[in-house]
Amino acid sequence: MNPRKLPRQTLSIGYFVLVAAILFTVQSFFVPKVTELSYSDFKKRLGEGRIHEVVISDSLIRGQLSPEKGAGVPFVTVRVSDDALVPDLEKNGVTFEGQYESPFLNAIVSWVLPALVFVGIWAFAMRRMGPGAGVMAFGKSRAKIYAEKETGVMFHDVAGQDEAKEELAEIISFLKEPERYRAIGGKLPKGVLLVGPPGTGKTLLAKAVAGEASVPFFSISGSEFVELFVGMGAARVRDMFAQAEAKAPCIVFIDELDALGKARGFGGMGGHDERENTLNQLLVEMDGFDSTKGVIIVAATNRPEVLDPALLRAGRFDRQVLVDRPDREGREAILRVHAKDVKLGPDVDLKVVAQRTPGFVGADLANLINEAALLATRKGRQQVTMVDIDEAVDRVVAGLQKKNRLINADERRIVAYHETGHALVAALTKGADKVHKISIIPRGVAALGYTQQLPTEDRYLMTRKELEAKIDVLFGGRAAEQVVFGEVSTGAHNDLQRATDIVRSMVLEYGMGETLGPMTYPRQRGPGFLGGGGPSWPEQREYSEATAQLLDQETRRITEDRMARVLALLTEHRAVLDRVAAILLEKEVIEAEQFEELVKADGTGRHVA
Ligand code: ADP
Ligand code: MG
Ligand code: ZN
C-alpha cells in the first residue's frame, strides 16, 4: 500500500475543521465586544438614566450605555413587545431612531458572505492538494497523467533486462507511428503483462516504454481499487479508459494487477464484490476498445499464478514479458546505473560487487549503493570505498535474509551441483532433450534454480528409452547431490515426484513392466487441479492385492535401476560435474553453447548409454 495515497479523505476532513476554526477566530477578532443585556436589565438601566442613545429595529435594540468614564459601552438586547418603551425613552431623554431591517441584506451578511469565504478557501485548498482529492472527486479517475517529460525514464535507465526490452521494442515503435501499423493492418497486442519478482524493474520498464515512445503514461495500482466504495472502482476504470482514448497514443499502466485480477470466485464470503465489479469492468473496457487507436495497456504482477484466467485470454493480456532477477552481468550493469551519480573510490570494482550479491534484484542494488554512500558520508569520506560497499552489502543481505529472500553460500553450492547434475545427465543420455539453459537464479516461489531443456521436435509418441531418459534427467539433480555431498537435500522433492509419476505410468498404463506383461492397470487420480472440484470416489481397484504388490515391486525396480545408472554416470564424469558447477556458481547462468563446449572439453564427448 502506498502511504502517500491513503489519507486523502482524512486530509479533506482536516481542511474542513481547520477552515472552520480560522473563521471562528477571525470573527471573534473583528466583531467588537458587545454587552448583551436582558430586556429587564435594559429597562432598569433606562430608569437609572444610564442609557445614552439607541437604534431600534424589528427584533433588536442596540445602543450605548452612558459612559461612567470614557466612551460608552455598546450593548444589545432582544426587543420584546412593550408599549411603554417609546414613552420611557422620551421620559429619560434618550435619543432614539428606528431601523428598517432588510431580510435580504441580513441574509447576505450573515450567511452568503461566510459561505463565499468558505468556498474560496476550500477551492484553494483543493488546488493545493492536486486533482482528484476530496469528496467532489469521487468517481473521477485518479489516474495521473505524466506527460512525456515527466516520466523521464528511458531504456538506458533500466539496466540488464535485455530480453524484456527486446520484446517491448515493437510496442514502442507502434506507439511512435501508429499510422504505419494501421496502414498495413497488423494487429498489435492490447495488453502486455510484465511478470517478475518485486523490485526487478517492472514499473521502471513500463515508464521507460512511455519515455522512449514519448507518449502520455496513465498509471493506477490494483491495490488502490481495493479500498473503494461500491461502484467506484468500475467507474474509475471506465473514466481512465475514456481519458486514455482521448490522449492516444498512450500507455495505461496497471501496477499490482494481482490485487485486482485475482481469480474470481476465490476468497469466499462474497466479500470481494467490488473487486469483481472492477475486474469485470476492466475486461469489458479491454474488449471494447480498438487497439489500432494506440492505447496499450501494460500491467505488472509478481504473482501471475493467481490471476483470473480471463485476463490472460487472447485479446487481453495475451503477451507476457518476463522481468527476471538479474544475473551477475545484469547486476553489474544495474550497479553502474545507480553509481553514476555517486563518487566511487579507485578501489571499488563493481564487477566484484556484482559477484558478491547473488539473488539481489534491481531495487536491492539501488538500495545497496545508497547505503554505501550514506556510510561513506557518515564516516566523513569524500568517496565511497570498498569498505563502505562491503558493509552495505552485509546490511542489505541481513535484511533480505530476514525476509527469506536470499539463500546462503552452502545452499547455493548444493543448488549449483543439483542443476549441473540434471544438465550433465541430459547431455550424456541418448534420447534426452537438449539442455537450453542452466541457472541458479531463483525463480518463482519454490524453485531455487532450474535447468531448461528444449525438445528437438514435437512428440506424440515416446519410446521406452525416451521415457527412461526423462527419468534419468530428473534423477540427475538428486544423484549429483549424493555423489558430491554424500547426502541429499529436500530440493529434489518435485523431481522425484515427477520421476515416480513417469515410472508408474510406464508400469500401469503403458504396459512397459517386465513381470506383468502388456496390460494396463487403471489408476486412481488425485482430485482435479482445480482444487477438489470433482467428487472423490472411494478407492476402487480392478486388480488384486497380489497384483498391486507386483506393480509396486516393478515400480521400485525400475526406479532403482535408473538411479543406479545415473549415480554411476555422474561418478564417472565427476571432473566435468565439478567444473560446470564451479562456473555456474560464478556466472549463475550457463547457456546451451557454453555448456556443450564444457562437456566436449571433458574429452569424453557425448557419451551414449
Ligand atoms: P518492480 O515494479 O518490479 O517491483 P520497480 O520498477 O519499482 O520494481 O523498481 C524499484 C527500483 O529499483 C527502481 O526505481 C530502480 O531504482 C531500481 N531498479 C530495479 N530494476 C532496475 C534495473 N533493471 N535497472 C536499474 N534500476 C533498477
Ligand atoms: Mg512496481
Ligand atoms: Zn531438480
Phi and psi angles of residue 30, each rounded to the nearest 5 degrees, phi first: -90, -30
**Are the beta carbons of 226 and 356 closer than 8 angstroms?**
no
**Protein residue with least CA distance to atom 27, ligand 1:** 362
Question: C-alpha 582: how far from its chain's center?
Answer: 35
* Helix count and strand count (H, E) for the chain: 23, 14
Q: Is 588 a catalytic residue?
A: no
β-partners of residue 439 are 450, 589
CA–centroid distance, 531 to ligand 3, in Å, is 25
Query: Directed axis angle between helix 273-288 and helix 232-247, to 10°?
Result: 20
Predicted pLDDT of residue 139: 45
Contact 155, 165 (CB under 8 A): yes
Task: Using alpha carbons, select from 149, 159, 255 the residue that is nearest to residue 210.
Answer: 149
CA of 447 to the centre of ligand 3 (A): 8
Residue 159, ligand 1, Cβ within 6 A: yes
d(CA 300, CA 192): 9
Which residues lie closer than 8 Å to 411 by C-beta, 6 or more apart?
448
Ligand 1 binding pocket includes 172 (Cβ within 6 Å): no
Rounded to whole angstroms, the Cα distance separating 576 from 597 reads: 11
Q: pLDDT means per 10 residues in the chain (609 residues)?
A: 45 72 71 77 82 82 72 80 82 80 74 84 68 44 50 88 90 85 77 91 93 88 70 80 85 88 59 74 83 85 86 86 90 94 92 89 94 93 92 85 74 92 94 87 65 67 86 94 89 83 84 73 51 47 79 90 95 95 91 89 54
CB of 363 within 6 A of ligand 1: the answer is yes
Interval between CA 177 and ligand 2 midpoint (Å) = 27
Give distance in angstroms: CA of 394 to centre of ligand 3: 30
Q: Which atom of ligand 1 is nearest to the CA of 300?
A: 2
The preferred substitution site among 200, 256, 368 for testing ligand 1, maximizing ligand atoms within 8 Å of CB, is 200
Grid cell at residue 45:
438601566
Which 3-state string (H, E, C) describes 335-404? HHHHHCCCCECCCCCHHHHHHCCCCCCHHHHHHHHHHHHHHHHHCCCCCECHHHHHHHHHHHHHHHHHCC
Catalytic residue among 332, 371, 419, 481: 419
Q: Looking at ligand 1, which residue's alpha carbon is closest to its atom 25?
A: 158
Cα of 301 vs centre of ligand 1, distance in Å, is 14
The answer to whether the CB of 200 is under 6 A from ligand 1 is yes
At CA 271, angle to CA 228 and CA 283, rounded to 5?
65
Q: Residue 167 in 3-state DSSP?
A: helix
The Cα 379–Cα 373 span in angstroms is: 10
Q: Is ligand 1 within 6 A of the CB of residue 339? A: no
Q: Is 203 in the pocket of ligand 1 (CB under 6 A)?
A: yes
Which ligand lies nearest the alpha carbon of 452? 3
Ligand 2 geometric centre to CA of 214 (Å)? 20
**Interval between CA 214 and ligand 1 midpoint (Å):** 20
- Going from the C-alpha of 360 to that of each of 100, 292, 332, 443, the distances in angstroms are 82, 39, 11, 12
Task: For residue 252, give the nearest of 291, 211, 304, 216 by alpha carbon.
Answer: 216
What is the distance between the alpha carbons of residues 59 and 77, in angstroms, rounded to a whole number?
9
Q: Tell me if 221 CB under 6 Å of ligand 1.
A: no
C-alpha cell at 282: 476492466
- Give the closest ligand to the alpha carbon of residue 419: 3
Would the CB of 365 count as within 6 Å of ligand 1?
no
Backbone angles phi, psi at 194, to 5 degrees: -90, 120
Which ligand 1 atom minimizes the distance to the CA of 337? Answer: 25
Atom 6 in ligand 1: residue holding the nearest Cα: 201
Q: How far is residue 222's CA from residue 51's CA, in Å, rounded to a whole number?
A: 72
Helices (H), 428-544: 464-485, 493-508
Task: For residue 202, give the ligand nearest its CA.
Answer: 1
Å from CA of 473 to ligand 2 middle: 37
Residue 310 DSSP class: G
- Coil/strand/helix, residue 298: strand
- 151 contact partners, CB below 8 Å, separation of at least 6: 207, 208, 210, 211, 217
pLDDT reported for residue 51: 81
Our answer on whether the CB atom of 204 is closer than 6 Å to any ligand 1 atom is yes
The 10 Å CB-count burial string (b at 16+, else e) for 92-117 is eebeeeeeeeeeeeeeeeeeeeeeee
362 lines ligand 1 (CB under 6 A): yes
Residue of 194, 195, 197 whose CA lies nearest to 447: 197
Tell the residue nearest (CA) to atom 12 of ligand 1. Answer: 363
In this structure, are strands 450-454 and 434-439 parallel, antiparallel, or unpaired?
antiparallel
DSSP type of residue 271: T
Ligand nearest to the CA of 156: 1
| C-alpha to C-alpha distance for 475 and 75, rounded to whole angstroms | 101
Rounded to 5 degrees, φ, ψ at 32 are -65, 160
Helix (H, G, I), strand (E, B) or coil at 457: coil
Tell me the ligand closest to 446's alpha carbon.
Answer: 3
DSSP-derived 3-state class of residue 145: strand
Q: Check residue 31 and give its pLDDT.
A: 61
Could you tell me how far CA 31 lies from the centroid of its own chain?
A: 55
Nearest CA to ligand 1 atom 7: 203
Predicted pLDDT at 67: 67
SS3 of 587-601: the string is: HCEEEHHHHHHHHHH
- Give burial (CB, 10 Å; 0-12/13-18/19+) of 555: middle
Q: Choose which residue among 156, 204, 361 to substitute to test ligand 1 binding: the one with the highest number of ligand atoms within 8 A of its C-beta.
A: 204
- Is residue 544 exposed (0-12), middle (13-18) or buried (19+ Cβ within 10 Å)? exposed
Residues 6+ apart with CB under 8 A from 476: 421, 422, 423, 424, 425, 426, 566, 570
Residue 427 DSSP label: H
Cell of 25: 477566530
Sequence-distant (6+) residues with CB within 8 A of 310 are 264, 283, 316
How far the first Cα of the chain sits from its last, in Å, is 56
